[in-house]
Amino acid sequence: MKSLAFKPVVTIVGRANVGKSTLFNRLTRSRQALVADFPGLTRDRHYGEGRVGSRPYLIVDTGGFEPVVKDGIVREMARQTEQAIAESDVIIFLVDAREGLNRLDFDIANQLRRSGQPVILAINKAEGMRYGTAGLEFHELGLGEAHIISASHGDGVVDLIEAALACIPEPEVEPEPEFDPEAPEEAGRTHRIKLAIVGRPNVGKSTFINALMGEERVIAFDMPGTTRDAIEIEFDYKGTPYTLIDTAGLRKRGKVFETIEKFSVIKTLQAIEASNVVLLMLDASTEISDQDASIAGFILESGRALVVAINKWDDLDSYKREWAKREYARKLRFLDFAKVSTISALKGQGISHVMRAVKGAHAAAYRRMPTPRLTRIIHDAVEQQQPPRKGIFRPKLRYAHQGGQNPPIVVVHGSGLEAVSDSYKRYLEGRIREAFDLEGTPLRVELKSSRNPYVEDK
């Protein structure tokens, strides 16, 4: 079986104040949507995504690295950096051209050599310096030819990231057959549903998988230094083929630190992006944390179909069950499109309900919406409730068509649509959801105004 297409992971490492965050912002083009600040991880560790040419990648910004320190907050930061190094495909080691070579740079270089990961040396803050002499002293680090850059000005950054990605072979990915939920049963079975199971440690992911598979299965990976430790399991459930993508975190036997044990962000992001449907598991006996909300937000942003399973439901009395429902409705109300199932993975209760919801969410994500029917739905919606005027003009919605699947995208054309409010847009989404039974998938409605040919461009 060919591997799923995970984005390569590039980690920026270096001592404090060498410009790591500036380079991170440059590579992510200052997009902060994917920055993660989960409890249990140091605040200096951030995750984002970038793209060079047609190749996307995940980028990790780490705190100042001092590998020789043995205690205190600096040691906790070093442990976080070591975790980032372990789950990387390639490391950018950033040094400071203006401060020159530092004793700490040698310590970091030695640590990176021991990691066995490819390392690209980048000399930052070289603007205004003679490029021929800026990096001479850094040859002592023994890391090969250095890239001379200025993260703040962008000089040399594209060449740097291209060199980093060149160290990682592009994966051979098996093309996914086009899925048509309206096709005959036999044709529909050729599509293998990729189901990512995500959630905090100890919510019952492994127990759920064992109950689903009908056998005890070791899920946790114990391979320090690898980045592909999300486990893929192929199986059939009631005639439908699935690929499970488990997100067991990186756990070093005998070296499980509390901060590292909390959650492996990279693996979760990769599993979500490689999936068709995401199963978000929550623990009914605990409060919904910021970490749960952050994972849910990324699932929504990625556009993946979603099913929520609240586990350990059998342990709660009626009062606590009501409390758990209110907690979910309050903190995760932005997931109102998702089917919620209460289960006991340990006792095997509710498993079939979850899998029916997964199959339904997958079909909804790939639903075909014919243009004539979409246009009628939009016209009926406008007839029942017109969009509010802006000044003396009222937006006019003329026709709609489907612009994509997984998630479904509906493009509405008309005039003056830039004046349509978010609340009216949500009204249209609700009408489309109801008409096409889109439970379990995000829906994106895009508004496009036609250009008036009689208005001269200014």
Residue 284 — φ and ψ, nearest 5°? -65, -25
Cα–Cα distance, 249 to 203 (Å, whole number): 13
Q: 246: annotated binding-site residue? A: yes
Q: 199: annotated binding-site residue? A: yes
Between 157-166 and 20-27, two packed helices, what is the crossing angle to 10 degrees? Answer: 80
Q: 289: annotated binding-site residue? A: no
Query: Does residue 296 contact residue 338 with C-beta atoms inside 8 Å?
Result: no
Q: 144: annotated binding-site residue? A: no
Q: 126: annotated binding-site residue? A: yes
Q: 274: annotated binding-site residue? A: no
Cα–Cα distance, 304 to 301 (Å, whole number): 8
Q: 105: annotated binding-site residue? A: no
Q: 19: annotated binding-site residue? A: yes
Contacts of 158 (CB under 8 A, 6+ apart): 52
Q: 430: annotated binding-site residue? A: no
Q: 133: annotated binding-site residue? A: no
Q: 95: annotated binding-site residue? A: no
Q: 339: annotated binding-site residue? A: no
Handedness of CA 187, 189, 194, 195 (dihedral sign): positive
What dihedral do alpha carbons 13, 16, 19, 20 form, nearest 10°? 30
Q: 61: annotated binding-site residue? A: yes
Mind giving me the DSSP string for 438-455? -TTS--EEEEEEPP-TTS
- Cα 25 to the center of its chain, rounded Å: 18
Q: 325: annotated binding-site residue? A: no
Q: 360: annotated binding-site residue? A: no
Q: 249: annotated binding-site residue? A: yes
Q: 20: annotated binding-site residue? A: yes
Q: 65: annotated binding-site residue? A: yes
- For residue 162, give the H/E element and its range: helix 157-166
DSSP conformation class of 177: P
Q: 312: annotated binding-site residue? A: yes
Instruction: Show the DSSP H helices in 214-335 as ranges.
Output: 258-262, 265-273, 290-302, 318-331
Q: 406: annotated binding-site residue? A: no
Residue with tokens 């703040």: 152
Q: 250: annotated binding-site residue? A: yes
Q: 323: annotated binding-site residue? A: no
Cα–Cα distance, 452 to 43 (Å, whole number): 50
Listed residue (328, 326, 323) closest to 292, CA to CA? 328
Q: Which amino acid is at 361?
A: A
And the tokens for 349? Answer: 């209760």
Q: 186: annotated binding-site residue? A: no
And the tokens for 367? Answer: 């639903």
Query: Does residue 343 contact residue 313 with C-beta atoms inside 8 Å?
Result: yes
Q: 311: annotated binding-site residue? A: yes
Q: 102: annotated binding-site residue? A: no
Can you say which residues are annotated as belonging to the binding site?
14-21, 61-65, 124-127, 199-206, 246-250, 311-314
Q: From the annotation, which residues make up the binding site for GTP?
A: 14-21, 61-65, 124-127, 199-206, 246-250, 311-314
